[in-house]
Structure 1
Amino acid sequence: MSAAPTPADARSGARTAAVPARHAVVTEAPTAAGTAREISSYWTSARMRAALPIEQLVDGLTRSLGPGRSAEHAARARTRPRQVRAPRSTGKLFFRVDGADAVCTASAINTKKRNQVITAGHCVHTGPDVGLLQQPHFYSDWVYVPRYRNGHAPYGKWVANNAYAFNGWIEHEAFRFDQAIISFKRHGRHRLVDVTGGNDVVWGKPQREWGVRIWGWPAEDPFDGETAKRCDGRTVPFHDSADASMHACALTGGASGGPWFLPRGRTANSGRIWAVTSRRVLERPVLLARPIPSEIRRMIRAANR
């Protein structure tokens, strides 16, 4: 289902608007009910293959161009998703949403604890608009599978320990704050980044960048979520919003939370992440993300105490 930005998002996303201090507050998810063994055992290959993109379970994660906009976005359509070997430091993120199995994309990051990933805020929390019958809440039972492919976990299944989201997302669905960090338990004696390598997180970048590389595990038609895909190209501002966009990048649901890498310092397995996939446009293959805000430093500190 398509959705225009909310008024709260428009206010918080405006370049000249002051960001309420409350939006930058970081909230930690409740402690998991199950043990690490129980959660890991739940995520069998069959369940991982059958899990649905979060976009199919939660409204508002796609955007409509509105009347007369489709032709404008058909221009300069040269970026296509490519199927290539994913970096070790990226992977598929599985979690439970009100009894359903869901997926996003995530990437390991270089932090003090060396056991964390960055993903989208909407891959850890519902946001405020969940209807009359539910309360806003965190999801549960996250498992991260680096370089997932066809039901296999070549670097293991990592069970979450904690998850962190901004109140700007939790209370206002402000896409400026659509980022989250998840911490994971050790796998045997090993920490995540020691096994897969990690990426640097950078903030405050402009919407217009050249040589950007985006990774994701798209799981909606024409993709099945079983292999990673990537787009390469430049990013530009999306109309008059604070979104950065890559045109003709046809990654579909399941790619949410995937990394946007800058060209400088990028290797086959790591790089510098300046945004994570937030939404896509329905009428044309356009992927959207907000450049990571400076408030991410607060989240990193909270997750590494």
Structure 2
Amino acid sequence: MGKLFFYTPDGEPSHCSAASIASANKNTIWTAGHCVHLGDGSGDAGWMTHFMYVPGYRDGAEPLGVWSGARTFVASAWTQDMDWEEADMAAIVLNPRLDGNLEDVVGFAFGYTFAENATDYANTAMLGYPVEGYQRTDLNGERLMYCVGDTTDASFLNPFDDRLKMDCDMGKGASGGPLVWGPENDPRIVGASSHHEADKDTLQRVSDDHFSSEHGSYAAAVINSANNA
């Protein structure tokens, strides 16, 4: 796990969360689509820039150094249509360093399970660096936080909505952090922290429900593109 720093299209510094993911190049991280592109159909004008990934970040410390972004991969369903249900995920291939690839230096990368209509995962961990949270004022984005629980189908009434939902009070800053499921010797990414419910008028968060886009065919296409880069 690590913290992902970047600049928004209007030049403002920002950050999200990300994680090393198993890849052919051993230099890939997984995050949210909205941490890479605005998703507003603006094309090249919507990309975030100057990505810097800091694995193991804590209170300003960079125990494993800093890695710069080389190439980004995200579904057009996000960049063009802001599809929160199926496409808010992205892969960033990092530049290798003189001391090796990310996976070699860090010593680990999460595996992944990307499957259509898969929403229910027991004992799942959501990790991230939140600066805001539901009914919390003690978060500043400087330490890795996590929630553990079961994910469920976000909408039983809509068969086309296969977002993953779990109870988690993390908010802004945790975006892009992985949802990790599986045995201790084979933890796998099954989602990425994406969004929460807010009141239409006040825009205030209304519950601790936290959502990930479905990680199905779009997620598989994104990681396959990164593997072929």
Q: Distance in 1 between matches of 2:217 and 2:80?
A: 19
TM-score, reference length from structure 1: 0.65
TM-score, reference length from structure 2: 0.85
Corresponding residue for 1:106?
A: 18
- The partner residue of 2:91 within 168, 176, 181 is 181
What pairs with 1:152-171 in structure 2 (closer than 5 Å)? 152-171=61-80
Assess if the C-alpha contact under 8 Å between 2:75 and 2:218 holds in 1.
no
Corresponding residue for 2:201?
A: none
Assess if the C-alpha contact under 8 Å between 1:128 and 1:136 holds in 2.
no
- The partner residue of 2:217 within 256, 273, 294 is 294
Partner AA of 1:215 in structure 2: L
Corresponding residue for 2:227?
A: 304
Partner AA of 1:257 in structure 2: G
SS at match of 1:195: helix
Distance 1:188 1:177, change over 3 A: same
Q: Tell me the CA shift for residue 187 of structure 1.
A: 2.3
Corresponding residue for 1:258?
A: 177
Q: Tell me the CA shift for residue 219 of structure 1.
A: 1.0
What pairs with 1:220-259 in structure 2 (closer than 5 Å)? 220=132, 221-239=137-155, 240=157, 241-247=161-167, 249-259=168-178
In structure 2, runs of 5+ residues without a counterpart are 198-204
Distance 1:206 1:301, change over 3 A: closer
In structure 1, runs of 5+ residues without a counterpart are 1-89
SS at match of 2:211: strand
SS at match of 1:126: coil
Deviations 1:63-112 (A, max 9, x none): xxxxxxxxxxxxxxxxxxxxxxxxxxx11100001211111000101111
Identical-pair percentage: 28
> Aligned-residue CA RMSD in angstroms?
1.8
Q: Tell me the CA shift for residue 259 of structure 1.
A: 0.6
Corresponding residue for 1:137?
A: 46
SS at match of 1:112: coil
SS at match of 2:47: coil
Q: Distance in 2 between matches of 1:293 and 1:171?
A: 18
SS at match of 2:223: helix
Deviations 1:3-39 (A, max 9, x none): xxxxxxxxxxxxxxxxxxxxxxxxxxxxxxxxxxxxx
Partner AA of 1:255 in structure 2: A
Q: Distance in 2 between matches of 1:302 and 1:244?
A: 23
Partner AA of 1:271 in structure 2: P
Q: Distance in 1 between matches of 2:98 and 2:65?
A: 10
Q: Distance in 2 between matches of 1:192 and 1:124?
A: 19
Which protein has the larger Cα radius of gyration, Structure 1 or Structure 2? Answer: 1
SS at match of 1:295: helix
Corresponding residue for 1:121?
A: 33
What pairs with 1:8-87 in structure 2 (closer than 5 Å)? none
Q: Distance in 1 between matches of 2:59 and 2:218?
A: 36
Corresponding residue for 1:199?
A: 110
Q: Which has the higher strand share?
A: 2
Partner AA of 2:183 in structure 1: G
Partner AA of 2:82 in structure 1: E
Q: Tell me the CA shift for residue 135 of structure 1.
A: 7.2
Q: Distance in 2 between matches of 1:199 and 1:290?
A: 18
SS at match of 2:207: coil
SS at match of 1:297: helix
Q: Distance in 1 between matches of 2:44 and 2:110?
A: 34
Q: Distance in 2 between matches of 1:215 and 1:272?
A: 13
Q: How many residues align?
A: 209
More off after superposition, 103-112 vs 201-210: 201-210
Q: Tell me the CA shift for residue 122 of structure 1.
A: 0.5
Q: Tell me the CA shift for residue 129 of structure 1.
A: 6.2
Partner AA of 1:299 in structure 2: V
